[in-house]
Each structure stands twice: as C-alpha cells, then as structure tokens.
Structure 1
Amino acid sequence: MLKDLKKLEIINNKSLNSLFSSTSLNDINQHCKFFNGEFYLDSFNYFPVTVNYETFYSLFKKDDNNSLEHFYTKEFYQNIIEKKNDFKVIKNSLVLGSSPADNYFSNLIHFFPRIFFTNEKKINLIIHRNLSNKFRSFIKSICQMRDIDITFSFIDDGFYKFENSSIPQFLNINNSINILKFFIDKILVGKDAPRFKSKIYIRREDANYRKVLNEADLIEKIRNQGFEVINPHHYEILDQMKIFSSAEVIISPHGSNLSNIIFCNKGAKIIEISPPFNNPYEKNISARYQNLSKNMSLEFTKIISDTVNVDNHSDLAKKYINNNILNESDYYKNMILKVSKIDNIINSL
C-alpha cells in the first residue's frame, strides 16, 4: 500500500527532506515546495509517488474536489508495482502540468501560478498535450518576460516515471489568486489592448455547453443599455485579462472565462447566468464564481436559467466524464432564459 507522509514526517526524515526544496516570493509572502528526483506520476491528478511508494497528500492535492482515495487502495498499489517498468521515462524536467480536459479555470488557478516559483532560466516544461495553443503561448510569453527559456514536452493520459525532475506543490486558491494578481496586474498596467466599453457581455457561442440559446433576445436589450458583446476566444489570454480588468459590469453565462474576474477592480458588478446545478456534486461548481467575486470584493448576482439537453457531447467530455453525469449534470447542458429572467437582468443594471 502507498504511504502518505505528513509534513512533520518529511522534516524528520533527513534523506527524504533533502529531496524537497522551497522557494519564496517575499514581496507577497508566498511559498512553494518542490519535490525533486525520481517519482511516478499520472497525468490526471499529477499526484507524485516516490520510488519507495510514498506520497504527500497535503502538498499535492489540487483542491477539495480532487479525490485521491483510490491511490491508497490495494488494487492501485498492485497495479503500479506490476506496470511501473512499462512507464515512459522522462528526465530533466519541471512538471507544471495542465488540465487534461483543457479547462481554463484549472489551468489558470491550479497549475499556472506555480511557474513563478522557479529559479531556473532554462526549463523543459511538462504539460498535457491537450493544453490549447493559446494557453501555451500565454505561458511562453510570461516566461519570456521573466527571462526563462522554456521548451514544452507533452504527456498524454497515463502514468510516467520522472528522473532528475521536479514538481511544485499545489497551492490553495487564495494563494494562487494573490500570485496572479501580483504578477499579471503589473503586466496589464502597461499593456495595450483592444478598447472596450465598461459594460460587456461574454458570449459562449463556441462552447459545447452552457450556451444561452436565446441570447439574441438578451443581447438586443442590453445593447440598448450600452453593453458591448465579445467572445473571449477571439483574443489572446492577456488581452482577455485586460478586458476584464477594465470592465465595470460583466454579464456572462457560467463558464471558465469568468475566472478572469480576479483581474476586475473592486466593486465591479458580475452577473452570472447559471443553470440550477441541483445535484449535490455540483455544489462547488455552482458557487465557484460567487466565491471568487466575494474574495475579490465584487458585486455578484446570479440569474438561474432553464436547461436544455445537448444533441452530442464533446469528445473530451465523453473521454473523461462518467456517462451518467454527462446525461444528468446541468454542467453539460445548454440554457434558455425566460423573458422574466431577461427583465430581471435589465432591472438589475
């Protein structure tokens, strides 16, 4: 069975403790530990297992939704022992990782902020092959600004063995936001970006799920209120962040682009159009942007829509999500707003 080692056990084990390094961002009092050396790693949880079958749950659990209990079963232990010699070996790398489903919230909040703790100037950076070209360009541009020369190496679904490599711990969401705000805000201050009105509506026309099917009715009314309609996918990530940082009012369907509200100024108004999310396992997803708004001192309103089943699910969703959840969860449906709900939005402006 795999063994989970607590922080005190790591400190008291001299040989194990020597495999950890720590980096600090003193200006914002943020700290990050790196595990260095040899380890096994899966490309979904990014949960390192040492060659002695030790784990560090408290350091490498991404968030409260990230269930890792299956790592501590007898079946998993036997499986890794039997198959470890078949794992592809990757050497001399920094494992940043990225969401296998290319989820922007997870890429921005869980994975990306840890790059600011590296002191290396030349890195072979490990990410999942599914990471979008746009986010790859974003990582590269930030690293260039910090005089870091990176080369991407890609992993697919499955387990790998890493040698002479490092992986940074995962950070809690508040620490991640503090890091992003500290570094990205400095960049945005001097960045030229497309000029938009202070009131914007975010479209999800290119998304597979949670599109507002009758949004034309809403758009017609809010344009009369001075709103500009944008599709963030038409802009580079830093431009998206700049757009959000300049906005006073944002109306958007529930979706990962709302992660960019962390760059809004205090007091900005966020109106989220959301499906009901009535299933217990949807609780955290439902509250995600409300919690972000609270953390950032933003004014938040949620408008609940009706839902409509989609005709076909995306290939990524079918690959990673249980079929029952795909058919049941509001996350994987589209939305329709009743006229009364549209009027509620207009009246709240």
Structure 2
Amino acid sequence: ITLNMTSDFATLNLTLFVEGAIYPAYNDTPIAASTSWIEVISSIDSTTLSEGMLNFTVLFENLAEKETVYLLYYVDNDAFGLGVALYTPANGSEISGLVSIDLNVTADVNILNLTVFVDGVIYSSEFVGTGDISVIVDTSTLIEGYDNFTLFFQYDVLATYFAYIMHLVYLVDNDGVPITIDHQSPANQTEVSGVFDLYLEIGSEYEPLEFTLFIDGAIHQYNKSSLGIKSQIVSINTTEVLEGLRTFTLYFYYNVTGEDASATYILVFSVNNHDAPTIVLLAPTEDSTITGLTDLWLNITNTHPNLFLNVTVDGVNTEEFNGTAISGGAFNYTFNSSKYENGHHHIAIITYTGENVSASTEITLVFLDHVRVWISRL
C-alpha cells in the first residue's frame, strides 16, 4: 500500500488494521517522517486474510496526534467463490400456484443481487444473502406451459464485479389442461376493421400447434396453420367479412406425438370497414324559388359499395328518388316540382348504405310553377 505523506514530525508509529484486527507486521511500528515522503506499507500477505471485500485502516500516531486512512480492498486469492445449488423443485418438474424455489448459495461476500427472468422478461429483483434462500414465484401471473427461469446472481461493488447464472425450466400448469389461451388486444366486444393484429398468450405443453380461425362458423384465412406458443400475433383480414357483430372462434390442436390436445377460444368483434356516408347540399340555397324540373346538386361521400337515395317533399317520397341506387360524388339529382302546389315546401334528402347507415340534410324551397298541367306517367 503506497501513500503520499506529509508531517511536521520526524517519526511516527504506524498500525495497520484489517477488519478491525491489528495486522501483526504493523503494530505501533516506528517509521521515519518528513514534510514530504512516500510511505510503502509492504509485506502484507493477503493469503492469510479472509476472501472478499475487507476494510483496511492505517493509523499514524505521534503522542496524542493521530491520523487515519481508511481503505477498502477486495481480497481474492482463489478467484471469486460463488456457487448455487438447487434443492427444490427439481429442474423440469411441474409447478403451480405460489412456488418456493429453494437454493443454497455460497459466496465470498454476504450480499448478492438476484434478478429472476421468466422467458427473458424480468420477474423480480432483490438482494439475497448466502446460505439457504427461497425465491417465491407466483405462477398465476405466468404463461402456462414450459417456462424458462433464469436466476442471475451478481456482485457489483466499486471496481469488483462477479456474476453467476442458473438456468431452470418448469412446466407451469394452474388449470390442469395442456393448452390455455388468453389474449391481450383488441378487447373483446370492441370494433375492428381492415387488417388487425390479435395479440395472443398461448400456454401449452406442446408446440407448434395447428391453428384454425372460424368467423361465424366458416373457416377464414387460417386452416390448420402452424402457430407457436407464448406471445403470438395473428393478423386477421376483415375486408371480406360481413359488417356488424361477428363471432371469431380460434381453434388450437396438437396431435403429433400421440398426445391429443385442443383448445377453443371465442371472441366477438364488431366489424366496421365502412364509415357512415356524408351529404352536402351545394345548390339550391334555402328559400330559393324553383320551377318545373329542379336539380338538387349534392356531394355525397361514401366507402360502402352500395349507396341509395331518398328525396321527400313534405314527408312524402318523390317518384324519382325512393330507395334509388346512386354513386358517391358531386352530381345533380332532378325531380319535378310541377307535381306540387305553389308555395313553401320542406325537402328532406336521405342517403344510406347497404348497411343501413345513413346521412341526411333538409331545405325549404318555394315552388312556383307557371304551368299547371303535368303528366305523371304515360
């Protein structure tokens, strides 16, 4: 141990303590001192000391005057000693509920940091001692099936770092069935459209599984397709699916090694690939006077392939537009105002899709017809 020293005295007494005990080679040992010198404390045999992080205290004295230097060193003559032995449960065994993984830890230090990973995701992190310890795991929060447990022990203090990794595999089975299905999103009974991703959590003793998707009882997109387990994303295309509430049945099956296992998972989604139509009356304007054949200039937007138009005068459907199929866009729609008495009339314009989703607008117009003769039909 080399120290850069300064003192007003010519001599000092040096005592070295290791973990509070006097080191025999330096016990009130006289040394020469000056205003500036380098003191080398040599002949420290670390093989006689305990392994691990130790406190070294250097005490300098001259009568009642004292000065202390505190140092911390990691003594390691036989490489860092860290070992872990598993008591229970046995590696590869089946577990359920609250599980205590019982271990015996031996180390050159008293405190270690333990991080537990399950399938690569951090489950817990804590400080543990040595000797017999227990790691508690709530398996109800884990995915069913074979889960990989990684126990990562580490010591990281100042410039000293050591680590030890133990790998374990357990069969998590809380429900007594070989295949368990859950999902994260989208939530059941919510709206979906286009191509959406279904996030699944598949717990299984076997893999891969056969996966078949039924929508309202008919096979859709996936038919005995191979699918892995754990966290899986299934993309579902709804563009060819009928709109409205639809039942999605997910069927999983395994029969490769003679084991016959299956599971069914049912979700209900509202399929909505088409927005409601919109309608804007561009002309005529409110309270305009019209005569004879009159154009209603409408801009109708729509995403559904089937679109229809109703036009009513004072609540009665016109002959021209009564469930009439039309196309979206800005067009003129002509009706004969000569059929009606002169005066103010209320016009309602309704457009609706094949899903019976509608939009409407209204206007009041003044009918003024100089010709009082009209022919309804030949």
TM-score by length of structure 2 reads 0.19
Query: Would you tell me which structure has more strand in proportion to its own residues?
Result: 2
Higher radius of gyration, 1 or 2: 2
Structure ranking higher on relative contact order (CA contacts 8 Å, 6+ apart) = 1
